[in-house]
Structure 1
Amino acid sequence: MSANNSADKRRSAVNELKRDLILKAARRVFEEEGLEGASLRAIAKVAGYTPAALYFHFDSKEAVYAELLSSSLDNLKQETERALNQISSPAEKLHTAAMAFFHYYRDNPRDLDLGFYLFRGGMKPRGLGQERDAMLNRQLQNGLQPITDAAVALGAGAAQAREITASLFAHATGLLLLAHTGRIRIFGVEVEAMMGDFATTLTRQIEEENSHVDH
């Protein structure tokens, strides 16, 4: 290995380490201040770098937030793929993919806050710029794609499959919001059972509709 290659690898490793430290610091700042209250200067201070050093890696706080959210969505996709490993039945795939989505955000509530921009600022429309929003929306859709694919494999049309995916997404996030805020306790119910029942009901509905068409 040449000296130049060794030096390049060392620089790359150092840059990756710095980037990781910046992202960890940014996560803390966003959790405390929200997207609107955060700044690159605050992130730099927590990370132990100068603002100029941050600009080498990110051109804005929106770019940092997008990187964190992108990483979270990658993790969601990996967890879903892991749950679906060796499952071949479309019905089981749909149910498993829906529950994998639910379980990921159940176990990582701050990632749910990250995805819905709930840090400090509360619920309202937010974005990171048209290009970043489009990229992150595609990542979210990729994470939910196994649900859509399983619905189609069960016999749903493209439009119905999208509607089913949206229904499961809305049901899961609603239950998670109630669970993470403790509001679900007033009903004396178990959110996981409710999510599982909803996924089962939708799966059976598709199967029944498809069987009627076949006959």
Structure 2
Amino acid sequence: MAKQRAPKVQDLTQERAGALREERRAAIIEAAKSVFMRNGLEKASMRTIATEANCTTGAIYPYFQGKEEIYGAVLTESLDLLQDYIRTCIAAAETPPARARAGLTAFYDYYQDRPDELALGLYLFQGLGPNGLTKELDRALNAQLADLFTLLTDACAKAGLPDPAKTAGGGIAQAVGTLVLERTGRIRLVGQSSQDLMYAFLDQAFAGLQATP
């Protein structure tokens, strides 16, 4: 039986270097999240991000060319995690209606548990347009949002809903709107919690279907 080749020192060194690069990149993104939440994109700077990450600005540039690119990475990571969470929740449900409802509920639950990520995403659209990002980054983020919408729309279509896109879009709008009201404290004017309002929308949307997870 042939002996298994032991890994070369060079291979191990490259693996460790790659892992270290990923750790540093992740640390920069986490530090940038805090800076963006405190200062917004316009007032944030590479210097403040470097200070938060306990490194020099020069140590950031091998990973990101500017704060806009870091901001794009923050949102990209958030949308990836959101989509993974929704897929997991859809897969765990047993019937098509239950999967569709689980997907929309997962969208709401994800941002309810992570209000800072919702705030960062909404900041992108201040002034009714992309704020501070390059066209390339904006296109990439729009593609992720389109994939997310397609995922939810497909689940609604398989559930037999008459207008899947309307239900998916309405669910997203309901989730974001009620969570914004909750975050700003204005939900008390409605006299109900954001969860009550979200579930009322889902109950109405799935009326007549066996959608209970």
TM-score for the superposition, normalised by structure 2:
0.86
Instruction: Give the one of 120, 125, 149 matched to 2:129.
Output: 125
Distance 1:45 1:162, change over 3 A: same
Post-superposition shift, 1:106?
Answer: 0.6
- 1-structure distance, mates of 2:137, 2:204: 35
Coordinate RMSD, CA, aligned: 2.1
Post-superposition shift, 1:123?
Answer: 5.8
Structure 1 partner of 2:74: 68
Q: How do 1:34-183 residues align onto structure 2 when only pairs under 5 Å count?
A: 34-117=40-123, 124-127=128-131, 128-156=133-161, 160-183=163-186
Post-superposition shift, 1:122?
Answer: 5.9
Q: Counterpart amino acid of 1:138?
A: A
Name stretches of at least 5 consecutive residues in structure 1 with no aligned partner. Answer: 208-215
Q: CA-to-partner distance for each residue in 1:156-177, whole Å, 9 max, x for gaps? A: 57xx322222211111111001
- 1-structure distance, mates of 2:159, 2:34: 43
Name stretches of at least 5 consecutive residues in structure 2 with no aligned partner. Answer: 1-6
Q: Counterpart amino acid of 1:7?
A: T
Post-superposition shift, 1:38?
Answer: 0.9
Q: Counterpart amino acid of 1:6?
A: L
Percentage of matched positions with identical amino acids: 33
Q: How do 1:182-197 residues align onto structure 2 when only pairs under 5 Å count?
A: 182-197=185-200
Structure 2 partner of 1:31: 37
Post-superposition shift, 1:199?
Answer: 1.6
Query: Secondary structure of the residue that 1:204 maps to in structure 2?
Result: coil
Query: Secondary structure of the residue that 1:116 maps to in structure 2?
Result: helix
Q: CA-to-partner distance for each residue in 1:184-214, whole Å, 9 max, x for gaps? A: 1123212212211212212238x6xxxxxxx
Runs of 4+ in 1 over 4 A off after TM superposition: 121-124
- 2-structure distance, mates of 1:86, 1:107: 20
Structure 1 partner of 2:3: none
TM-score for the superposition, normalised by structure 1:
0.85
Q: CA-to-partner distance for each residue in 1:52-80, whole Å, 9 max, x for gaps? A: 21110001111101111111111111221
Aligned residue-pair number: 202
Instruction: Give the one of 182, 200, 205 matched to 2:203.
Output: 200
Query: Secondary structure of the residue that 1:85 maps to in structure 2?
Result: helix
